[in-house]
Structure 1
Amino acid sequence: MGTVIMVAQLVLALVILIGLHEFGHMIAAKAFGMRVEKFYIGFPPKLFGFKKGETEYSLGAIPLGGFVKITGMIDESLDTESLSKEPEPYEFRAKPAWQRLIVMLGGIIMNVILGVLVFIGITYYYGETDVPKEEIYKYGIQAEDLGQQLGFETGDKIIAVNGADYENFSDLVNMQIFFEEQLKYTVVRGDDTLKIGVPSDFLDQLSESKSFITYRWPFRIGRVEGGSFADEAGLKPDDKIIAINGEKVALFDELQAALQNNAGQEVSLKVERDDEVITLQSEVSETGTLGFYPVSEGLQSTRNFSLGESIPIGTKLAFSQIGLQVKAFGKMFAGDIDPRKSMSGPIKIAQSFGEDWIWSRFWGLVGLISMVLAFMNLLPIPALDGGHVAFLSYEIISGRKPSDKFLENAQKVGMVLLLALMAFILGNDIISVI
């Protein structure tokens, strides 16, 4: 069932992203009097479609792209039969270069608008949830495997990043800081103050591990899974486990460690319930779990924003994603980032959505992908919108239009490059899950 939910989220996201992108091209073309022959979401075989006016609207079975067929335009269809004739007034090639440029930018503009609106909506609806520095300092951080490799230890208290103070946990793991040169964390460990550096290939390592530190937090029992060991032992929502086999546990990572040490065994649980302390016996699974969902005890704080406040905050968040992409490309060309580890295809993206349908995560990913698509489509590669934009910009500046033959050949080269890139990304995806 989890796989079905992941795939369903991916398909819905792609339909929204592709549909709006192609709609941007189509609406701009129609506004300038160009004939739009086809509006396609997905690739053939066609699932269903209908024709309204001069345009055929269709949904394809392969939701990995889409296209708008504009009469008189050299595009991925490579339909050049009409180019030997004089252009009709409704053809793409008959229109002024500035109009053709707007049409080619239409899809990118729609992706940017979608991304900005999504981030504004998320900011307004969900607010900003974070963990303040004082709470992190109270319990310290939990060092995961990658964090331990860097030199962090669970319980470390981070007091500065690159010598500067910070406000919330998100400031410690914000992707922006990992592009800084010689990034260092200042850490208090017992009576010592240490500096822990981040290597130049850290982003490659992070792309595989996903995280390296997290905050530690006190917990209570949330939902108990029916039929689980926790259920059989008699654990109830709002219970607080305070000891396992006599070993005190105050934080969730301490509970996890104690359960891992007793995996596959029976343990004695000391539980605080309604101001009383009771003792329960429970089996621990072979993977070191009891079968309940924990809830944090007031560690996080949420700040809500008005619509007026959400607009600049959401807009800034949206465009920061493009900034990250530009920096990532710079690191990639410098050899600091391995494209095999940083590029995600449909399989990795589906995994990012997760096996549970969480709307905040779904829309966050849709907004992120929309801004990434806008950036990627603006790259001056033939067969992408950016390739058309580059040629049209040249035409506007120089006053000379590239020949149809040149555009046709450029489109062919771009298609080969694009198909090779898609094969690389998809193959990389498959290898990563084998």
Structure 2
Amino acid sequence: MTAFYYLLGVVIFVVAILASIGLHELGHMIPAKKFGGKVTQYFIGFGPTVWSKQVGETEYGVKAIPLGGYVKIVGMLPPGAHELADEVVVDAAGNTVTRVRKSNTGMFTQLISDARAAEWELVGPEDNDRLFYKLASWKKIVVMAGGPTVNLLIAFFIFWGVFATYGQQTAEVATGAPVISTVSECVIPFTEEGRKCTADDPPSPAFEAGLRPGDQVTTFNGVAVTGWDQLRDLIRDNAAGDATIAYVRDGQQLNGTTSTTVEARPTSETDETLREVGFLGVTPELEIITTTGGPLYTLDQMGDMTVETVKALATLPVKVFDVAQAIVGLEERDPLGPVSIVGGGRLAGETVSSDQFPVAEKAVFLLMLIAGFNFFIGMFNFLPLLPLDGGHIASAAWEWVRRGIARLRRRPDPGYVDAAKLLPIAYVVASAMLVMGVVLIIGDLVVPLSLEG
């Protein structure tokens, strides 16, 4: 049954992501058609076509590689200024077809020219008023923003449902005299945290003093301890001095003596600057606080997520490089690092098949995993880089601003922004995305993240 539940978790996650992709593409297609644009293809996936059906002027289908999707909107790229004269030609059968003359004056120019030619090859004169590039700038922004906005809405409604019912659980230090949760058996430098003790590591002061999990610290060097923050400050300020610690174990008052050691540790939970402080080697017992909330609470939480996601996007190439190093065994994989849809599927499978969580927690984990992927996909697609949706949004926004300035200054209309000129950058970005995607997928197969760490 474990294998069955694992497979069930993977299937649920994959189906949910594919549904999200489909809704993302609907977010582009529906407004495009509403504004009079011509959509010739709507596909989920890439690569060879598995299934398709023609409905009206649009072909709907599924492709073999479920790592994305697309809609084909006619006339995304405007013709180049030197190519306008060749827009309409008559083919061998006597049909009038709109084409663009190719240019071969340089590698990038050829790339741009080829892209225009492919874009315009099947455009007929009847499509002249339905070309995407001719839409009003605000309409183009709505069409391109529709996809990632759908992902953010999916995330919002899932988060809202979870926060309003199950709530958001956070671990906070229990109030009162601190109860010890863990005792380090040895002193491990902060920069090496996570590894196991070795014979070369000195024993921790807490371990030498006889402290164990469950002990409640009452005094430190004769000072009554009323909370964890106070105890932490006393330990840090003690540097490498002697320490007498009174604690309660199973209702019995006990004492231990040791000497704290000096270690480089973060200044605080919010400031990761390292400084030399006294170190004992204990962590406090935590209590789970459950907070519930509605749409405003959800928006507030998503605001915090946005800040963290922007930070993650800024360091994404570095994080992916770390995954590449983990693949070849040069370092351990960061448990908080990025994962692909393969890694998400594995985590979903492990969750559903695990005996450690009740059904409610499994459902919440799956929902939060799906919402998290949608939130990241939405944020990622808003990056102002082609070929992402944000790149098209930025082009349309600049076109809108440029035309507005021209009207205010009573200057001639500067015309459409030619996104085709940015295609060389788009190819570089697309290549980088492909490489990062492949690295993450290989990482999720070779050095996968696990619920057990």
Return the TM-score normalized by structure 1. Answer: 0.60
Partner residue of 1:325? 309
Separation in 1 of the partners of 2:121 and 2:386? Answer: 21
Partner residue of 1:122? 162
Separation in 2 of the partners of 1:84 and 1:196? Answer: 66
Separation in 1 of the partners of 2:185 and 2:306? Answer: 30
- 1:58 alignment partner, SS class: strand
Is the Cα–Cα contact under 8 Å of residues 343 and 441 in structure 2 kept in the other structure? no
Separation in 2 of the partners of 1:97 and 1:57? Answer: 27
Q: Judging changes above 3 Å, is the alpha-carbon distance between structure 1 residues 190 and 118 closer, same or farther for their aligned structure 2 residues?
A: farther
Q: Judging changes above 3 Å, is the alpha-carbon distance between structure 1 residues 383 and 330 closer, same or farther for their aligned structure 2 residues?
A: closer
- Indicate which of 348, 356, 374 corresponds to 1:353: 348
Unaligned runs of 5+ in 1: 165-187, 204-212, 218-298
Displacement of 1:82 in angstroms is: 3.8
Tell me whether 1:91 sits opposite 2:131 in the alignment.
yes
Is the Cα–Cα contact under 8 Å of residues 19 and 41 in structure 1 kept in the other structure? yes
Displacement of 1:397 in angstroms is: 2.0
Displacement of 1:55 in angstroms is: 2.1
Q: CA RMSD in A?
A: 4.3
Tell me whether 1:7 sits opposite 2:10 in the alignment.
yes
Partner residue of 2:119? 80
Separation in 2 of the partners of 1:390 and 1:426? Answer: 30
Displacement of 1:404 in angstroms is: 6.0
Partner residue of 1:426? 441
Separation in 1 of the partners of 2:186 and 2:61? Answer: 47
Is the Cα–Cα contact under 8 Å of residues 320 and 440 in structure 2 kept in the other structure? no
Once the two structures are superposed, what CA deviation does each residue of 1:235-288 show, in whole Å capped at 9, x if it has no partner? xxxxxxxxxxxxxxxxxxxxxxxxxxxxxxxxxxxxxxxxxxxxxxxxxxxxxx
- Indicate which of 155, 159, 166 corresponds to 2:228: 159
Separation in 2 of the partners of 1:37 and 1:348? Answer: 33
Displacement of 1:138 in angstroms is: 5.8
Partner residue of 2:69? 66
Unaligned runs of 5+ in 2: 79-113, 194-203, 207-211, 218-226, 234-242, 247-257, 273-281, 324-333, 353-361, 404-413
Partner residue of 1:102? 142
Displacement of 1:122 in angstroms is: 0.5
Is the Cα–Cα contact under 8 Å of residues 136 and 215 in structure 1 kept in the other structure? no
Displacement of 1:18 in angstroms is: 1.0
Once the two structures are superposed, what CA deviation does each residue of 1:208-244 show, in whole Å capped at 9, x if it has no partner? xxxxx99769xxxxxxxxxxxxxxxxxxxxxxxxxxx
Q: Judging changes above 3 Å, is the alpha-carbon distance between structure 1 residues 142 and 83 closer, same or farther for their aligned structure 2 residues?
A: farther
Displacement of 1:388 in angstroms is: 1.3
Q: Judging changes above 3 Å, is the alpha-carbon distance between structure 1 residues 323 and 71 closer, same or farther for their aligned structure 2 residues?
A: same
5 Å-filtered alignment, 1:383-422, equals 383-399=387-403, 400=414, 401-403=416-418, 405-422=420-437
Separation in 2 of the partners of 1:146 and 1:362? Answer: 37
- 1:63 alignment partner, SS class: strand
- What letter is aligned with 1:31? K
Separation in 1 of the partners of 2:156 and 2:431? Answer: 32
Displacement of 1:135 in angstroms is: 6.8
Is the Cα–Cα contact under 8 Å of residues 33 and 39 in structure 2 kept in the other structure? yes
Displacement of 1:418 in angstroms is: 2.6
- 1:88 alignment partner, SS class: helix
- What letter is aligned with 2:119? T
Displacement of 1:105 in angstroms is: 0.7
Q: Judging changes above 3 Å, is the alpha-carbon distance between structure 1 residues 149 and 51 closer, same or farther for their aligned structure 2 residues?
A: farther
- Indicate which of 25, 40, 51 corresponds to 1:48: 51
- 1:60 alignment partner, SS class: strand
Separation in 1 of the partners of 2:184 and 2:349? Answer: 21
Tell me whether 1:375 sits opposite 2:379 in the alignment.
yes
Is the Cα–Cα contact under 8 Å of residues 119 and 315 in structure 1 kept in the other structure? no
Is the Cα–Cα contact under 8 Å of residues 74 and 123 in structure 2 kept in the other structure? no
Displacement of 1:117 in angstroms is: 1.2
Bigger Rg, which one: 2
Separation in 2 of the partners of 1:410 and 1:121? Answer: 40
Displacement of 1:159 in angstroms is: 2.1
Separation in 1 of the partners of 2:316 and 2:172? Answer: 33
Is the Cα–Cα contact under 8 Å of residues 178 and 284 in structure 2 kept in the other structure? no
Is the Cα–Cα contact under 8 Å of residues 29 and 35 in structure 1 kept in the other structure? yes
- 1:321 alignment partner, SS class: helix
Separation in 2 of the partners of 1:110 and 1:39? Answer: 16
- 1:427 alignment partner, SS class: helix
Displacement of 1:3 in angstroms is: 4.4
Separation in 2 of the partners of 1:189 and 1:83? Answer: 84
- 2:41 alignment partner, SS class: strand
Q: Report the count of equivalent residues.
A: 314
Separation in 2 of the partners of 1:63 and 1:418? Answer: 16
Is the Cα–Cα contact under 8 Å of residues 383 and 415 in structure 1 kept in the other structure? yes
Separation in 2 of the partners of 1:144 and 1:10? Answer: 38
Q: Judging changes above 3 Å, is the alpha-carbon distance between structure 1 residues 332 and 413 closer, same or farther for their aligned structure 2 residues?
A: closer
Once the two structures are superposed, what CA deviation does each residue of 1:174-219 show, in whole Å capped at 9, x if it has no partner? xxxxxxxxxxxxxx9945999983499x99xxxxxxxxx99769xx
Is the Cα–Cα contact under 8 Å of residues 173 and 284 in structure 2 kept in the other structure? no
Q: Which moved more, 1:381-390 or 1:340-349?
A: 340-349
- What letter is aligned with 1:391? S
Displacement of 1:384 in angstroms is: 0.9
Displacement of 1:69 in angstroms is: 1.1
Separation in 2 of the partners of 1:189 and 1:369? Answer: 50
Is the Cα–Cα contact under 8 Å of residues 17 and 366 in structure 1 kept in the other structure? no
- 2:130 alignment partner, SS class: coil
